Structure 1
Amino acid sequence: MSMIDSIRKQMTPIHPEGYIFVAGFAIATLILGSFFGPLGWIGTIATGWCAYFFRDPVRYTPLDDALVVSPADGVVSSVGYFTPPPELGLSTEPMQRISVFMSVFDCHVNRAPIAGRVTKIAYKPGLFLNADLDKASENNERNGLVIEAEGGRFGVVQIAGFVARRIVCFARQGEAVGAGDRIGLIRFGSRVDVYMPGTARPLVTIGSKAIAGETALAELRSNGPRRNFKSG
C-alpha cells in the first residue's frame, strides 16, 4: 500500500450535505486572506472545522435485534419516562426515552437505532432553544420518525438546537432501515431522542458518551447471544 493510499484510508469522508458549506468557507478564506493575511489563517481554521463537522465516518453496528443503538454522537443528557410528541401517534402515556445531545464538535450524521420499517415521518416547526434543555423536546423545531420493529414501535426525534437551523431527513416513509443506517443530519448542534417500549433496559446513564450506530443505549432482553458487527 502506497503512502497516499494509507493517508486516504485514514481520512474521514465528508457527507455530501457539507460540500457547499466547506466550499463556502474555503472561498471566503481566499477572499479574506487576499485582503489581510491573518484573516486567511482564521478562515483556514474555520474551513477545517467545517469539514470536521460534516465528517461521515464508518461505524461498526452490532448485529443484534435486541439492541437499541445510539442514533447520534454525543453525551446522554436524559434517561427516563416522557410522553412522546403527539404528532408521532406513539402513545399518550410516558414512554422510556434516552436523549443524546450533540455539540458542534460531534459528528452530526444520525443513524437508525434499530432495524425495522419507517411507518411515519412527522415534521413540526418550532423554536431554537438550547437543545440540552428539557423543554426543547416540546418547543423546538423537530422531525420525528416511527420505526416498527420486532421489539415494538420506536420513536426517533431529531431536535434542532440554539445554533442548529436545519434538520435533514434521509429516510422515507414505508422504507425498511437497518440498525446503524444513516437516516438524517442536523446542522449545527442539536439533540436526538429515542422513545422505546417499557421492556427496554437502559445500558447507559446521564453523562455517558455515545457513538452513533455503535453504542448500545438499551437492550430488549436481559441475556443474549454473542454479537456480530456490520460496517457502514
Structure 2
Amino acid sequence: MTRNDQLPRRTVLGIASSAIGIGLAGCLSGQSETDQHDDDNHSHDGGDENESESDETSQDVSHGGNESHGHDAALEGPSETAEVAMATADSGQHFDPHVVWVETGGRVTWTNESGSHSTTAYHADNDEPQLVPDGAATWDSGVLSEQDAAFEHAFETEGVYHYYCTPHETGGMIGSVIVGTPDPNGQSALAEPPSEKSDTVRQKLTSLNERVTSALGGDGGASDDHSDHGDHGGHDGH
C-alpha cells in the first residue's frame, strides 16, 4: 500500500472519530438536561413535602403550646399525691394543671418553674371569701421567686378547695384541689363566685366549678377547661 493510499484512510478515521465524539457529547448533553429536569422536579416535589411537613409540625407545636397551659386531661379519681407547676409564660401566668385530685390526707406540692408566685387558699385567715370546706386548714406559701422553690400542703378535710396566686389573682391565676370524693352539692367552693371579685376572677372560678362538678358526676358541663382559652392574653393567667 502506498503512502497516498494511507492518507485518505487516516483522514476518514479522523472524521469518523470526530463524528462519534460529537454524537456522544450530544447524548451526554441530552441526558444531562433530562437528569437536570428530573432533579428540578424532584427538588420541587421534595420542597412541597418539606413545606407540608413544616406546616404540620408548626401546627402541632402551636397546639402543644396551648395544651402546656394546663388544659387538663380528664380527671380520673383521687391519688395519694399531686404536683402543680407555677409558671410565667408569654401567654400569662398559670398553675399547671388547673385542677388536681387527691385522697383525703393526700399532699399537693407546688413548684415554681418561672416568675414569682404563691399558692394561697381562699380562706378567711387570708382575708378572702371562704372557697374551701368548713373547718379546713388554710395555707399560704408566700411568694416564691427562686426557680424550683416548692411548697407542700396536706389536705385532711374532704371537699373542694380553690386557691390563687397573690401577685396574679386578678389575671386569673387560680387553681383547684379536689380531696376525697365529696358531694358537689353544698360545697362552698362550688357556689356562685363572690360578687366582690373581678369579672376575670369570677369567670375563672366559674370555669373551675364546671370542671370540678363534672368530674364529681354533677351537672357542671363539659369537663374540658375550654373557657380558659379566653384567658390567654398576656395579662391573663391560669
Decide: shared fold, TM above 0.5: no
TM range (shorter): under 0.3
Higher relative contact order (CA 8 A, sep 6+): 1
**Higher percent of residues as strand:** 1
When normalised by structure 2's length, the TM-score is 0.27
**Higher percent of residues as helix:** 2
Task: Pick the structure with greater CA Rg.
Answer: 2
